[in-house]
Amino acid sequence: MKLEQIEIPITNPLLDDYRKEKSSILSFFHYPNRAESFSQRLEDLQNHPIRRGQLVAIIRDFMESFEISSKAEEHLQELEDNAVVIVGGQQSGLLTGPLYSVHKAISVILLAKEQRENLGIPVVPVFWIAGEDHDIDEINHTFTAVNGRLEKHIYGERPKKKTMASTTALDVEMVRNFINETFKQYGETAYTENLIANIDAILQKSTTYTDFFVQLMNGLFKEEGLLFIDASNPKLREYEAPYFEKLVQLSETIADVVTIREADLAELGYGTPIGATKEAANLFYVKDGERFLLERHDGKFINHMANVQFTKSEMLKLAKENPTCLSNNVVTRPLMQDMVFPVLAFVGGPGELAYWSTLKDAFETLNMKVPVFVPRMNMTIVDRQVQPILDELQISVADAIAGKTASLKSSFENEVYDAGAKEVLEQTKQLLQSQYDGLQDHLRNNNIHLEKLVDKNLSIHESQLDFLMRKIEQEILLKHDVELRKYRTVEDRILPGGGLQERTFNPFQFINEYGEDLVKDMMELPFSINGKHNVIFL
């Protein structure tokens, strides 16, 4: 395994400007993403109240069901004492979801190690599972690439209710079929049988999306001591009761300042990532396992679909006595994270950067500051099948990521194209057109009006010539299929569906080829969190 860091264009304007530290976007944050910001943030955290013993007990209770490694236990003890944390998170996708879930975890772990060394204090990695999310359609599938097209593998049927990932039950047999179908596309290797057996053992101990997700992720990262917590964990919800009270109490102010900030962001050309409104309560109400977004109208918190409405005093009572029926949205989740944990930095992707850009004043409303925001690392894995093809075709990984493989394939097709056949067929078309023009003139001169029939007859002949040309092209492409397949393989693996690999494939595609030590060996690579794109050659 080898690491190479390359420069690729950043297509997201907000992320590009944030990395370049443009003043226009840095004004939306309390700290720039610089080395000195971490020591400043650490100083600001000294007065941040955390009920450490209670929090650690909740995390330990959550993690005990799937094994706490000695390193994780060490981190728990440090968190109970005086450690600060690096936080990142993701939804509970099947087979861990897209690769960027793993990339986030790696980024969190490496940043925690880096800052532990720089600051000389314990810095602990924490993965916040968005188990309260209810958009199951976003997490119930994975993709494989098949000869130039993506094949989507979906588990189960479309859910009838918007239940949270942490309460949505999995059917073991259906998930097993989903996994087997996915692995068929990966192909049989020396690791496949044992890998499927290990995944199946985890599946049998899982009852929900979150169970399955966290146990797989813990299996990949337990030696690093990555701590996990589920946002919808009932004990965490109870711990969050006083924080929910604050969010209810300040709901109107938070909605106002976020709406204003988002308008400022839009004015700079960065769009409206949240779609904030001043009526938003920025909280969900959980009823019968479903989440319903609340709005404020006439002093009440309302959702008509759920047929619920609460006065502010009733909401405060819910927050205090029954916090498990409340859930955060995209605005309040970052605020809640910061109230729960001593967050030194948050690691996120471009989408998260966009909505965090709207939250500076909301943090200030709660007498907090936005933690240092660190963009997660981007990675592309070059497997053993693709690497020799890249060398043979003389395509760099940077060019493949930039989408240049398609133009190189097109150039090759043009080189092998039978221009002579096309020229003969074009001449035949022109000859036919000339002959039919003469026929039309002859018929008109003899007062025979069959123009439409003659035109249709000509069209049929031209269609047949086009059909013949397509068949010739197909035969030529088939003749050179071995070579063309090389271009398709590069596109399939490096830029599936025209997008970055990390947004499409899950890690088990590569674990199936490399072995179950893939992530462990990746963690030993000399990564640097510097904004460059990481290319990993297996």
* Positions in the chain whose pLDDT score sits under 50: none
- Written as six digits, the tokens of 284 are 């969900």
pLDDT value at position 121?
A: 97
Give the pLDDT of residue 479.
55
Question: DSSP alpha helices (H): ranges in 417-525?
Answer: 419-445, 451-479, 481-494, 508-514, 518-522
CB 299, CB 313: distance < 8 Å: no
pLDDT tens-digit readout, 3-40:
999 999 899 999 999 999 999 999 999 999 999 999 99
Give tens-digit pLDDT for 78-92: 999 999 999 999 999
13 with 270: CB under 8 angstroms? yes
Residue 298 is classified by DSSP as T
Residue 231: which of 346, 108, 130 has the closest Cα?
130
CA distance 192 to 76: 34
Listed by start position, the domains of the chain span 386-497
Q: Which residue has the tokens 């056949």?
A: 421
Query: Is 0.85 topped by the overall pTM?
Result: yes
| pLDDT score, position 462 | 76
Cα–Cα distance between 335 and 350 in angstroms, integer?
18
How far does Cα 181 stand from its chain's mean position? 22
Locus of tokens 């933690």 = 371
* Whole-number Å distance between alpha carbons of 227 and 68: 9
